[in-house]
Amino acid sequence: MFAALADATRRDIVTRVLQQEASVSVLARNYDMSFAAVQKHVAVLERAQLVSKERRGREQIVRGDVGTVRAAARLLGHLEELWRSRIDRLEQVLDELSGGDPSCPSSAPRPTPSS
């Protein structure tokens, strides 16, 4: 899924079709590349289940798959949790070292920049 998103054009395609479905030919007008190249990008996205494609008459309509994009968001959410917990701990260290007993500097040795 993320490999599919690693390419800037594909990310752009996903962003567009999440907002509004579009045919491959309409999408292709946005990029400086051939219709076939855009079609290939769409195929990669389709395999990653980030978009779905549907034939409507002579057009192929591409639509974003909200569920998969949400899954990507969930993964980032875990990273978010990690950082929130780090900030909590970091604050605790700040509190202890700065708010602690100033008459006891040995509990908070000043680091030397060269160490």
Partner 1 sequence: MPVVSTTPDTQQLTLTLVADLAAPPSRVWQLWTDPRQLERWWGPPTWPATFTEHDVAVDGSSRYFMTGPNGEKAHGWWRFVAIDEPRSLEFEDGFSDESGTPSPDMPVIRARVDLAESGDGTRMTVVSRFDTGEQMQQLLEMGMAEGFTEAMGQIDDLLLTKV
Least distance in angstroms from the C-beta of 13 to partner 1:
11
Q: Are 60 and 51 in contact (CB under 8 A)?
A: no
Q: Are 49 and 1 in contact (CB under 8 A)?
A: yes
Angstrom distance (rounded) from CA 46 to CA 41 = 9
For partner 1, the closer CB: 37 or 97: 97
For partner 1, the closer CB: 32 or 88: 88
Q: Which of 35, 87, 100, 107 binds partner 1 (CB under 8 A)?
A: 87
Contact between 11 and partner 1 per CB under 8 A: yes
Q: Which of 55, 56, 58, 89 binds partner 1 (CB under 8 A)?
A: 89
Which candidate, 34, 76, 53, 52, places its Cα nearest to that of 9? 34
